[in-house]
Amino acid sequence: MMEDEVPVSLINEPIHEVIELRPGQKHSLHAVLCDALTSSRGLLQRLELGVQAPPGEAREVVRDLYVQVRRTVQVLGRCLELPDLE
């Protein structure tokens, strides 16, 4: 049995070359803005479905969050409409 050859698999395959791992390529500003707009719209939709918060500071904070996210969606949309943004 010791004389039997061990079959080569992906696990025990010898490494013949070294692959250099580089940090990911930077995304364009347009792509980042699109991603931010999509995320912000999702949060805005969730907030519009309703959030239960106890009276007092929690409600004020959630209301501020709603107003800011709604404004962020508007501003991101306007930024994406700019012709020469990069």
Q: What is the pTM of this model?
A: 0.66
Count, residues in the chain: 86
Contacts of 61 (CB under 8 A, 6+ apart): 53
Cα–Cα dist 21/7, whole Å: 29
Instruction: Of 26, 24, 25, 28, give the one whose Cα is nearest residue 79.
Output: 28
pLDDT in tens, 32-69: 999 999 999 999 999 999 999 989 999 999 999 999 99
